Structure 1
């Protein structure tokens, strides 16, 4: 028990040091600046801890994979351009920088895309998804994970199935618009990753969502590292 406590304390200290070293300087940075300022020094393990604390282990694991340096700045600039276009052209989309600005998370409330307990995309919501996918096609050097989430109303297995069906529906629509299938992965998380309080109506609404996690693919990383080697 003592060894476990010491190990946990050391891990917690490393976590706090990593957080304290990056947060003050990143508050007002663009994705380009974050990519340049923060490398992979925090490590995937710390990134996973950050994500677990935030309730999203997938995004957390991604945080620790940042390239950093000149290469990170190159990727960050690529993401900055996409972020600006999404914010300007896609209605009802919330856009956030993750992975030190080297990736984007685009969130739609499920009510925007689907009727309650349904997984067929609403006709009126298809235009928003179409606009996002037009931007994805314009920036081909990314991988896109489509993540479905529910609140905790109902049975766990039903929520898991519904979240997967919704993620699949969005993916299928993206494919019909011409997005390369190799870029897309659809994952259902059910009720396992809430971002708000499930005991309130407002919280449950926030938890019912679909996220697009947009990150650099191998080609973009190679281009970024090439840029770094030329500096």
Structure 2
């Protein structure tokens, strides 16, 4: 129990660092993580979001090669992700989805109150159009990996929350695949209640913790 409390406290502090470490590009208006924030959070989270891809880059690369997808090179990586980011921001504006830039990676935070009914892994009908547009952009920009992370609040048992987080991540993955995104690009993982970004002692905090996140990482041709 004590270990779990320490972990939660560490993650909460890290989440504050994420928020306070976000800066705004004066030209584009885009939110990005400062280098200081990335360094501070990376140590606390040990690779979560800011670290390695699910399943390891070698295994993921084999799938990408098998699917016949190419990679990006040099300065083209930044431009490619800039254009993808612009489209995703346009499609998610006003929906409650938060798009954050981390170097050349993109992170989409999708709160459960707009994506799923309470205690369910079924994507809400009113959100399917937005997610469909996101899927369309991900299909167009195929030279990127997509990691999908499911999260819950601390209500309920650990095992139930773990299962729910996995089912929600899988639900989003299946929707993307059915909408034309190549399955080889996608991996999923459920974190249950272990990765809170707010306090579970308030309804507002619990609502923030119930979420699905997409991490979009460019495929570097040097890795192929």
Question: What is the TM-score when the length of structure 2 is the normalising length?
Answer: 0.70
Map 1:157-176 → 2, pairs under 5 A: 157-176=159-178
How many angstroms does 1:126 deviate by?
0.6
Of 60, 64, 73, the match for 2:50: 60
For residues 177 and 58 of structure 1, what CA distance do their matches in structure 2 show?
A: 27
Instruction: Give the match's secondary structure for 1:179.
Output: coil
| Number of positions where the alignment pairs a residue of Structure 1 with one of Structure 2 | 178
For residues 51 and 173 of structure 2, what CA distance do their matches in structure 1 show?
A: 22
For residues 143 and 30 of structure 1, what CA distance do their matches in structure 2 show?
A: 27
How many angstroms does 1:74 deviate by?
3.0
How many angstroms does 1:77 deviate by?
1.9
Q: Are 2:41 and 1:50 aligned?
A: yes
CA shift digits 1:135-181 (9 cap, x unpaired): 10110100001110001111101000000000001111111111100
For residues 165 and 171 of structure 1, what CA distance do their matches in structure 2 show?
A: 10
For residues 217 and 96 of structure 2, what CA distance do their matches in structure 1 show?
A: 21
Of 90, 93, 100, the match for 2:97: 93
| Structure 1 segments (4+ residues) deviating >4 Å | 46-49
For residues 49 and 196 of structure 1, what CA distance do their matches in structure 2 show?
A: 17
Instruction: Give the match's secondary structure for 1:164.
Output: helix
- Partner of residue 155, structure 1: 157
- Partner of residue 15, structure 1: none
- Partner of residue 12, structure 1: none
How many angstroms does 1:47 deviate by?
6.5
Between Structure 1 and Structure 2, whose CA radius of gyration is higher? 1
Task: Provide structure 2 residue ranges, at least 5 long, that are not aligned to the other structure.
Answer: 1-20, 29-34, 58-72
Question: Which one has more relative contact order, counting CA pairs under 8 Å at least 6 apart?
Answer: 2
Question: What is the TM-score when the length of structure 1 is the normalising length?
Answer: 0.68
- Partner of residue 201, structure 1: 203
How many angstroms does 1:73 deviate by?
4.2
For residues 165 and 219 of structure 2, what CA distance do their matches in structure 1 show?
A: 25
- Partner of residue 191, structure 1: 193
Conservation of the 8 A alpha-carbon contact between 1:150 and 1:190: yes
Higher helix residue share: 1
Task: Provide structure 1 residue ranges, at least 5 long, that are not aligned to the other structure.
Answer: 1-22, 32-37, 66-70, 224-231
For residues 80 and 30 of structure 1, what CA distance do their matches in structure 2 show?
A: 13
How many angstroms does 1:113 deviate by?
1.0
1:30 and 1:179, CA in 2 relative to 1: closer, same or farther beyond 3 A? Answer: farther
- Partner of residue 103, structure 1: 105
1:56 and 1:159, CA in 2 relative to 1: closer, same or farther beyond 3 A? Answer: farther
